[in-house]
Amino acid sequence: MAGVSPLEKSKIIKKRTKKFARHFSNRFIKIRNSSWRQIHGIDSRVRRRFKGTIPQPKIGFGSDKRTKHKLPNGFYKFVVHNVQELELLMMHNRTYAAEIGHAVSVRKRKEIVERAAELDIKVTNAKAKLRSEDA
């Protein structure tokens, strides 16, 4: 793979990187590390947004439209399962990077990686599932 650089490399700014804590996750061990759940209780002070309660997810925490879904290397991800799907990225190799699907066999992976090198397309997981020749 040649060193394909993205068309524009803008800094990705996240408004919040911490996970939102589930209500009462500090009280009960069984929900200690569980993901966010919306509160539905009629008297819930968190749902009613009283002062001093835990923060809730809001639309304002969303990512910038220009950098949403962008990888840290500056490309957008495009999942490919065969060589024909890779051909779609021929004109967009500075914007999108190919990622080989997890269910693709080793033989097809080699074909995709070789064709991507010809088309000058970046493959994010090019070394996955490849074995050495002496094994």
The answer, yes or no, to whether residue 8 has pLDDT greater than 50, is: yes
CA distance 11 to 15: 13
pLDDT surpasses 90 at 44 = yes
Residue 1 has pLDDT above 60, yes or no: no
In three-state form (DSSP H/G/I as H, E/B as E, the rest C), the secondary structure along 22-78 is CCCCCCCHHHCCCCCCCCCCCCCCCCCCCCCCCCCCCHHHCCCCCCCCECCCCCEEE
Task: For residue range 69-80, list pLDDT tens digits in order.
Answer: 999 999 999 999
Reported residue count of the chain is 135
20 Cβ contact list (under 8 Å, min separation 6): 36, 54, 55, 56, 57
Residue 100: which H helix or E strand, with range?
strand 96-100
Q: Residue 132: what pLDDT? A: 67
- Tell me, yes or no, if the pTM score tops 0.85: no
More confident residue, 130 or 59: 59
Q: pLDDT tens across 81-107, in order?
A: 999 999 999 999 999 999 999 999 999
Please report which helix (H) or strand (E) contains residue 80, including its range. strand 76-80
> How far are the Cα atoms of 23, 55, 58, 67, 90 from residue 44, in angstroms, in the given order?
10, 13, 17, 35, 53
The predicted structure's pLDDT at residue 133:
60
Tokens representing 66 are 């220009």
